[in-house]
Amino acid sequence: MAALRYAGLDDTDSEDELPPGWEQRTTKDGWVYYANHAEEKTQWEHPKTGKRKRIAGDLPYGWEQETDENGQVFFVDHINKRTTYLDPRLAFTVDDNPTKPTSRQRYDGSTTAMEILQGRDFTGKVVVVTGANSGIGFETAKSFALHGAHVILACRNMTRANEAVSRILGEWHKAKVEAMTLDLALLRSVQHFAQAFKAKNLSLHVLVCNAAAFALPWSLTKDGLETTFQVNHLGHFYLVQLLQDVLCRSAPARVVVVSSESHRFTDISDSSGKLDFSRLSPSKNDYWAMLAYNRSKLCNILFSNELHRRLSPRGVTSNAVHPGNMMYSSIHRNWWVYTLLFTLARPFTKSMVSEQLLSPQTPSVHPLWTPVFSSTSCVLW
Task: Check 107, 293, 328, 338 and give the catalytic one.
Answer: 293
Torsion-angle region of 171 (φ positive above 0: left; ψ -120 to 50: alpha; else: beta): alpha
Rounded to the nearest 5 degrees, what angle is found at the Cα of 359, between the Cα atoms of 176 and 330?
A: 80
To which H or E segment does residue 151 belong? strand 150-155
Note if 338 is an active site residue.
Answer: no
Q: What is the DSSP string of 238-276?
A: HHHHHHHHHHHHT-SEEEEEE--GGGGG---B-TTSSB-
Q: How far apart are CA 348 and CA 325, in angstroms?
A: 10
Q: How far apart are CA 226 and CA 232, in angstroms?
A: 10
299 in Cβ contact with 345 (< 8 Å): no
Measured in degrees and rounded to the nearest 5, phi and psi for residue 44 equal: -80, -30
253 in Cβ contact with 315 (< 8 Å): yes
**SS3 per-residue string spanning 53-101:** EEECCCCCCCEEEEECCCCCEEEEECCCCEEECCCCCHHHEEECCCCCC
Q: Pseudo-torsion of CA 135, 341, 300, 158, nearest 10°? A: -30
Edge-first strand order for the sheet with 126-130 is 176-181, 150-155, 126-130, 206-209, 253-258, 316-321
| Cβ-Cβ contacts under 8 Å for 47 (sequence gap 6 or more) | 18, 19, 22, 34, 36
Q: Is 372 exposed, middle or buried (0-12, 13-18, 19+ CB in 10 A)?
A: middle
Measured in degrees and rounded to the nearest 5, phi and psi for residue 328 equal: -90, 105
Give catalytic residues, as residue numbers.
293
